[in-house]
Amino acid sequence: MRRARDLLKLDQVGIHESFFELGGHSLLAVRLRTTIRKEFDRDVPLVALFDKSTIAQLGEFLDGAGDKSSAGILVCIQPEGRGTPLFCVHPVGGNVLCYADLAREMGKDRPFYGLQSPVPDPESREFLDIAGMAAVYIEEIRKVQPAGPYLLGGWSMGGLIAFEMARQLAGQGEATELLAMIDTHPPSAARKVDAPMLARFAADIGRVLGIELRGLAKQFLELGEQEQWRLLMETLIQQGVLERKTAQRQLTDMFNVFTQNSLAFESYSMPKMPQRVTLFRASQAEAPEQLASEWEEWTGQKVELLMAPGDHYSMMQKPNVSRLADLLKSHLEKQEAARAR
């Protein structure tokens, strides 16, 4: 309990109080997992923290054999509510902890699910592209909601996978009532990144978790690849993201997921498809209307453009995420009111 108080910077934490409702966010959740591994020599999957988010529940988890489903693709982030479930797809890093704050700010009117990347098998030569991911993720959401209309969304690359899911669902005779693109770009050769994969990975993980790594950027780029790896691993250990004993394996898994997803994004040949899209654009980004018009070319439909405060990363973090949640919730309420009429 003391460790939880220290992480949350609170004087008292009750054993039945939720970690996330007390202010826990993605970086603190990662640090909590690392602390548990150090203290108990047990691995708690990050996604287990959503449905075992109190000290009492975590204690039961650690006393038992663990929940094997915690490492699955479909993650129930917020289970309550009678509304149609909202399914949000992971960004390029493959993790769904980025949706923890958004789900909490959305309230408990409807269930909120995340779809996270499976860790690729390093021995396998199979490459899971975006079409393959979408097919697997559709199977997962049908376990919760067998038939549409569906509410799909995704931040960054996640919006692109959601687009492909909507396309495949349409081919199966199912409608996607909401396709929420959260600062998502359509794939384009002009946007392919020439930077080495490890440098891209380091920059992304720092911004997603809210870790200040910019001070290391010059030093990082001057090093060879092995030295870059060691610097990144040591930095994440010091930040409480990795536990030294298992750091090599953890970082390798994270990097393999990022690499697979990056290559999938760059190789995706996106077909045009008639589909209504709602674009949530970061207010600090350039040319929001241009991005909306690009999506209109792909969908043949008028895109609803909604501006959310922050940049590409901070729009998903406090305090900006509250406004994003308000926009998304209001949009869903308008859709449901229109359907009722």
Long-range contact list for 291-295, CB < 8 A, 24+ apart? Answer: 291/185, 294/185, 294/186, 295/181, 295/186
Q: What stretch of H or E contains 275?
A: none
* Residues 277, 142 contacting (CB under 8 angstroms): no
**What's the pLDDT at 189?**
46
Q: How far apart, in whole angstroms, are the C-alpha atoms of residue 320 and residue 24?
A: 16
Closest CA to 184 of 113, 38, 285: 285
Residue 257 pLDDT grade (very low, low, confident, very high; cuts 50, 70, 90): very high
Question: What residue ranges in the chain does DSSP mark as E strands?
Answer: 74-78, 86-89, 112-115, 150-155, 176-182, 278-282, 304-308
**What's the pLDDT at 190?**
46
Give 269-278 pLDDT, tens digit per residue. Answer: 899 999 999 9
Pairing of strands 112-115, 74-78: antiparallel
Burial pattern 171-209, b for ≥16 Cβ within 10 A else e, equals eeebebbbbbbbbbbbbeeeeeeeeeebbbbbbbbbbbb
Q: Best-predicted range by mean pLDDT among 10-14, 15-19, 161-165, 204-208?
A: 161-165
Residue whose entry in the numeric block shows the structure tokens 């687009």? 163
**What's the pLDDT at 259?**
93
Weakest mean pLDDT among 25-29, 88-92, 95-99, 264-268: 25-29
Residue whose entry in the numeric block shows the structure tokens 């966010």? 25
User: Between these two residues, 190 and 245, which has the higher pLDDT value?
Assistant: 245
- pLDDT > 90 fraction of the chain, expressed in percent and rounded: 55
**What's the pLDDT at 8?**
47
Give 42-53 pLDDT, tens digit per residue. Answer: 777 766 777 666
> What CATH number has the domain spanning 1-71?
1.10.1200.10
Give 10-22 pLDDT, tens digit per residue. Answer: 555 666 666 666 6
3-state secondary structure 92-108: CCCCCHHHHHHHHHHCC
Residue 322 pLDDT grade (very low, low, confident, very high; cuts 50, 70, 90): very high
Residue 302 pLDDT grade (very low, low, confident, very high; cuts 50, 70, 90): very high
**What's the pLDDT at 228?**
93
Residue 126 pLDDT grade (very low, low, confident, very high; cuts 50, 70, 90): low
- DSSP code at position 276: -
Weakest mean pLDDT among 91-95, 120-124, 251-255, 300-304: 120-124
3-state secondary structure 301-330: CCCEEEEECCCCCHHHCCCHHHHHHHHHHH
In the predicted structure, residue 207 carries a pLDDT above the cut 70 = yes
73-184+272-340: CATH, from 3.40.50.1820, 3.60.20.10, 3.40.50.720, 3.30.110.70: 3.40.50.1820
87-93: average pLDDT: 96
Q: What stretch of H or E contains 207?
A: helix 197-209
pTM across the whole model: 0.87
Closest CA to 156 of 96, 199, 197, 103: 96
Give 68-84 pLDDT, tens digit per residue. Answer: 444 589 999 999 999 99
Weakest mean pLDDT among 214-228, 267-281, 283-297, 310-324: 214-228
* Residues 115, 140 contacting (CB under 8 angstroms): yes
Enter the tokens of residue 33: 């997992």
* Residues 174, 147 contacting (CB under 8 angstroms): yes
